[in-house]
A and B are shown apart, each in its own frame.
Chain A
Amino acid sequence: MHPATDPPAPARLREPANRVSPRAPLLWGLNAAGPLVGVLVVLLFGEQAGWFTLPAWLWPAYALLALGYVLGMPLVRYRVHRWESTASAVYTQTGWLARERRIAPMSRVQTVDFDQSALGRLLGLATVTVTTASAAGPLQLAALQVDVALRLVDELTRRAEADQGDAT
Chain B
Amino acid sequence: MPPDEPMTSTVLVRAHEWRRLDPLMLLVHPVNELVRFLPLVIATVVFGSSGDDRGPWQWQWIGVAIPIALGVGRFLTTRFRITTEQVELRRGLFARSVLRAPLDRVRTVEVTSSPIHRLLGLAKVAIGTGSAARAGDERLELDGLALRHARELRTALLHRAGTTDVPGAAGAVTRRPDTGRVLLRFDPRWLRYAPLTSSGIVIAAAVAAGVGQLVDAAGDRLTRWSLPDLAQLALWIAVPLGLVLAVALFSVFAVLGYLITNGGFRLSVDPSGRTFHVTRGLVTTRETTLERDRIRGVEVHEPLGLRLGGAARLSAAVTGLDRRTGGTSPLAPPAPYDVVIGVGTEILDGSPALVVPLRHHGPRALRRRYLRAASGLGLPLLVAAAITLQDRSWAWTLLPTTLLLVVAEPLARDRYRRLGHALDARHLVVSSGTFSSRRQVLAREGIIGWNIRQSWFQRRGGLCDLVATTSAGRQACTAHDVPEPVAVALASAAVPGLLGQFRG
Contacts and interface: CB of A to CB of B under 8 A. Distances in A.
* A and B co-occur in one complex: yes
B496 A134 contact: no
Contacts of A134: 132-133, 448-449, 469-471, 475-476
Interface size class, chain B: 35 or more
A13 B475 contact: no
A153 interface: no
B503 A136 contact: no
Nearest to B294: A168
Contacts of A6: 492, 496-497, 499-500, 503
A99 B488 contact: no
Contact of B133 (A10, A13, A111): A111
A97 B458 CA distance: 11
A99 B455 CA distance: 6
Contacts of A105: 448-449, 495, 498
Contacts of A132: 133, 448-449, 469, 471
B196 interface: no
A7 B459 contact: no
B336 to A, nearest CB: 32
B459 A99 contact: yes
Interface residues of A, number: 42
B475 A11 contact: no
Contact of A12 (B135, B459, B471, B503): B503
Interface in B434-465: 448-456, 459
A80 to B, nearest CB: 11
Contacts, number: 146
Interface in A76-130: 84, 86, 88-89, 91, 97-105, 108, 110-111
Contacts of A133: 130, 132-133, 319, 448, 471
B503 A104 contact: no
Contacts of B451: 100-103, 136-137
B425 interface: yes
B475 A98 contact: no
A58 interface: no
A129 B265 CA distance: 43
B493 A136 contact: no
Contact of A11 (B132, B488, B496): B488
A77 to B, nearest CB: 14
B475 A136 contact: yes
B493 A86 contact: no
A151 interface: no
A21 to B, nearest CB: 22
Contacts of A5: 496-497, 500
B498 A88 contact: yes
Nearest to A107: B448
B453 to A, nearest CB: 5
Contacts of B363: none
Nearest to B320: A168
Kindly name the residue among B135, B453, B502 whose own CB sees the greatest number of chain A CB atoms within 10 A: B502
B453 A10 contact: no
Interface of A: 1-7, 9-14, 16, 84, 86, 88-89, 91, 97-105, 108, 110-111, 131-137, 139, 166-168
Given A11-B484, A99-B453, A102-B449, 11 more contacts: A3-B496, A6-B503, A11-B485, A12-B504, A84-B502, A86-B501, A98-B454, A101-B450, A105-B448, A132-B469, A168-B471
27 contacts: A1-B425, A1-B493, A2-B496, A4-B492, A5-B496, A5-B497, A6-B503, A88-B497, A97-B456, A98-B453, A98-B455, A99-B454, A100-B452, A102-B449, A102-B451, A103-B452, A103-B491, A108-B448, A134-B133, A134-B469, A136-B476, A137-B448, A137-B469, A137-B476, A167-B448, A168-B320, A168-B448
